[in-house]
Structure 1
Amino acid sequence: MRIRGARPDDAEALAAMWNVMIRETLFTFTTEEKSPGGIAAMIKDRPGAFWVADAPEPVGFVTYGQFRAGTGYAASVEHSIVLTQSAQGHGIGRALMTKAFGSAAQQGRHVMMAAISGTNPGAVAFHSALGFLPVGRLPEVGRKHDQWIDLILMQKMLSGR
């Protein structure tokens, strides 16, 4: 397994991975599936902020972008990480996140945020193990598949204060 920068030709495989999560889980509030063209544009727009795990084909990815709009938030990013089911539990997620931490810190980012569905306790445990701290819970702010979903916010400092 290797971690490398995402390429536009990864877009179809990455969209397929992401769309399984969108269709089949409450782990993302998103209901609109990702298109390969949209993923390719995201890869282009996020140089040094979109990483793929190959084993030897893509089995997961992590990407990050600015947490909120506006220049005051420029040093804070929010990430998305998606793994195929077969890739989970093998250290691939940790390797992707470690790459994202280093890349974001090199880019001068100070904080990485995780916005986690309240239906995904595994993601909370995963992020806790990586040093993220809980900073808030927003009850019933999301709705998907006729269910209200809490949003859990966690953050990790990437640089000293």
Structure 2
Amino acid sequence: MKISKKCRYGLRALIDLSANAENEYMVLGSIAERNGISPQYLEQVFAALRRAGIVKGIKGSQGGYRLNVDPKKLTVSEIIETLDGNYQIEEEEVPEDIHGRGVAVSIQKLVIDRLNEELQQILTDITLDDLRKSYLDNKEYDQDMYYI
């Protein structure tokens, strides 16, 4: 599985939004600038997030975006599905011959199904709030580093 650039940018922007704009609207340009993301590309990402109800946007001079869901309840799985659709590994194609069918079923059961189950478990266990907390911990750690 490969996480697309759209998902990576979406996750980065949502972490930024949850860490820097608690119940406030934040201009997309400032999120883009802090994260090194093209504002035009980020607008496309936020359009998908807005359609899914994850963020709320207001137009105008006082406008911007804010989270529309509780970060403790928003899972990484939901974010990836919103931005990329199904992230699970596709099922093994089952050939017609008996030997090939047995091999395909074995691969499906012992590899693909298990990978999908673990992937699902991991991505549903991690919330946006977990990512935000980790980001804030790492941000504090980086600020305490002194170099000579």
TM-score range for the pair, normalised by the shorter chain length: under 0.3
TM-score by length of 1: 0.24
Higher helix share: 2
TM-score by length of 2: 0.26
The structure, 1 or 2, with the larger RCO (C-alpha pairs under 8 Å, 6+ apart) is 2
